[in-house]
Amino acid sequence: MKMYHNPVLLHKSVEDLITNPDGIYVDVTFGGGGHSREILKKLSPKGRLFSFDQDLDALENTIDDERFTLINQNFRFLENSLLAYGISSVDGVLADLGVSSHQFDEATRGFSTRSDAPLDMRMNVKQQLDAKRVINKYEEEHLADIFHNYGELRNSRKIAKDIVTKRLIKPIKTTQELKDIFQYIPAPNRNKFYAQVFQAIRIEVNQELEALKEMLEQSYRILKPEGRLVVISYHSLEDRLVKRFLKNGKFEGEQPRDIYGNFPKFFNLLQTKAVIPDENEIEENSRARSAKMRTGIKI
């Protein structure tokens, strides 16, 4: 069994999710199985739980329970994967987004800024695109867009230019070689800068925002009326998409008004503001510091 850290907002997220102990629920980010195990505790013998994870390491944490099914897939394939099991509607969907603590701690995966490792950052190690290819093969303008859009870095064009200049001399193969390019960043700002750079590359490698959008849209389609969608996010890019989708079913702009001049609603919000961990949880689990949880109830 792979060791994973404590799941964030464990009890509150499961409390918000489950309204029918006999129902069918989905945990689209299984990881170490913390949320899934808590969900199973709340389900009756009739209840069912389907969990998703594309990371092969997560399969080692599978749960021996006849009510439980673990699907080794990216959650962007939520709808079709459930249909393969004869499931077309569910009572609730839970998503705990981002990179797991295990993936950060597994130095060879290349997710962490603290360890030297091959440039990889793939959540699904079977896919072709990795961080090494992004850094060494993408055009300068494409790289600049990634750092601007996914890392929210103001100097994205300089970052891209520095990388392209360096790779002309020799390929950039490791996380340390990438970090060494930016030694000119002042020390007090360096760790945050590295985190933003790595985040941008990781999001591109795993197409995280595109996958999130697809999962949210599919979740709405498969949720029963009054079904719950619970999403825990860790940075503003994710949270912004979740907030907009719960508000009006779109990620940009607004839905057209109905014949009465009103905007259609897709979800009611369980809480008007995002739920955040308390000080005790943040002290016990540093990953919880940036977490925001939003819960929508399908209309």
Among the ranges 113-117, 123-127, 270-274, which has the highest mean pLDDT value?
A: 270-274
CB distance 43 to 61 below 8 Å = no
User: Do residues 213 and 88 both lie within one domain?
Assistant: yes
Q: Which domain holds residue 185?
A: 112-207
User: Do residues 91 and 160 both lie within one domain?
Assistant: no
Helices and strands of the chain, counted as H and E runs = 12, 7
d(CA 67, CA 200): 38
User: Do residues 162 and 287 both lie within one domain?
Assistant: no
* pLDDT at site 93: 98
The residue whose two tokens read 């091959």 is 118
96 annotated ligand binder: yes
33 annotated ligand binder: yes
Residue 238, domain member (yes or no) = yes
* pLDDT at site 161: 98
34 annotated ligand binder: yes
User: Do residues 95 and 28 both lie within one domain?
Assistant: yes
* pLDDT at site 101: 60
Q: Could you tell me the CATH number of the domain that includes residue 150?
A: 1.10.150.170
* pLDDT at site 231: 98
Q: How far apart are the first and last CA of the chain?
A: 40
Residue 1, domain member (yes or no) = no
CA 62 from chain center: how many Å? 20
CA distances from 214 to 18, 25, 75, 98, 242 (A): 23, 18, 8, 15, 12
Instruction: Look at the chain and report how many structural domains it folds into.
Output: 2
* pLDDT at site 1: 58
* pLDDT at site 55: 87
Render 191-206 in DSSP notation, one character per residue: HHHHHHHHHHHHHHHH
User: Do residues 196 and 245 both lie within one domain?
Assistant: no
Plot region of 94 (φ>0 → left; ψ -120 to 50 → alpha; else → beta): beta
pLDDT greater than 80 at residue 4:
no
Q: Which of 268, 174, 281 is nearest to 226 (CA)?
A: 268
User: Do residues 238 and 195 both lie within one domain?
Assistant: no
* Overall pTM > 0.85: yes
